[in-house]
Amino acid sequence: MKRIILILTLFLLIINPVFSASTVKKDISVQSVDGFGIKATLEYPKVKGKKDYSTVVLLHSLGYSSQWWETLPKELTNSGYAVLKIDLRGHGKSVYNSRLVRTSWKSMTNSAYAKYPDDVIKVVEFVKAENSKKTFFNNWAIVGADIGASTAILAADKIANKPKTIVLLSPVVKTRGLYVPVKLANLNMDIFSISGTNDVSGAEAEKYLKKFAQSTFATYTSEANSTGMLMLKSDNSLAKIITSWIKEYL
């Protein structure tokens, strides 16, 4: 599997043109159902005559933020995609509730984490409506890391317009009350899961989740000695590998 993906990566880099590094960035601010402020960043290539871009949504690891995606956003925009990076509530810039009280993920209860999928759907629907001339959500994908991976599966199950594929980094079966196997069984889409060399829990979760997959559940072991989105920092090839997988679907 690893050899096939690496060969595919090199092949796609040769045959596919790379867009200009020039991009347009927009700060997104959405109020969740319970009034929590969810922040995100939308970025897409600045290409003359280009009407819209297939979109990739990035959902970060627990305790981090959308600023930790390393080279993946650039790899995606250079490949012609719009990238929507969302700060999950309690993280990054998404830390103020309806009373404007600063709230950290460290103090949140499972009932707050349960709102993650709805938060993501709220942002996606907002961006779809407000940036319809540039983002294309009939053809989109999600990349999620640990709790972001769980959120990706749960949001994909709830949203009407399903993503074409999901990429999971260090997936988990259950975290902070978010249990994903049953909802994964509702999804009829290919999934690509990545874990690090010493990520025992991630590898075990992959084996378990694969039993519930209704379509392809491909796995890849990175040489990174880390987990979640931190794998992108120590394995420079991962951004290209993830992008190559997405290119097969968008």
Question: 40-64: per-residue pLDDT in tens?
Answer: 999 999 887 777 899 999 999 999 9
Spatial contact of 81 and 246, defined as CB atoms under 8 Å apart: yes
In the three-class reduction of DSSP (H, G, I as helix; E, B as strand; rest coil), residue 167 is classed as strand
Spatial contact of 39 and 92, defined as CB atoms under 8 Å apart: yes
In the three-class reduction of DSSP (H, G, I as helix; E, B as strand; rest coil), residue 232 is classed as helix
Amino acid identity at 221: T
* Strand duo 178-179 + 190-195: pairing: unpaired
The token pair at 144 is 């999620």
How far apart (Å, rounded) are the C-alpha atoms in residues 29 and 94?
Answer: 9
159-191 b/e (C-beta count within 10 Å ≥ 16 → b): beeebbbbbbbbbbbebbebebeebbeebebbb
According to DSSP, the residues that pair with 28 across neighbouring strands are: 40
Spatial contact of 91 and 228, defined as CB atoms under 8 Å apart: no
How far apart (Å, rounded) are the C-alpha atoms in residues 223 and 242?
Answer: 14
Condensed to tens digits (0 to 9), the pLDDT of residues 196-249 reads: 999 999 999 999 999 999 999 999 999 999 999 999 999 999 999 999 999 999
Q: To the nearest whole number, what is the mean pLDDT of the chain?
A: 91
Inform me whether the pLDDT recorded for 12 exceeds 80.
no
How far apart (Å, rounded) are the C-alpha atoms in residues 85 and 56?
Answer: 8
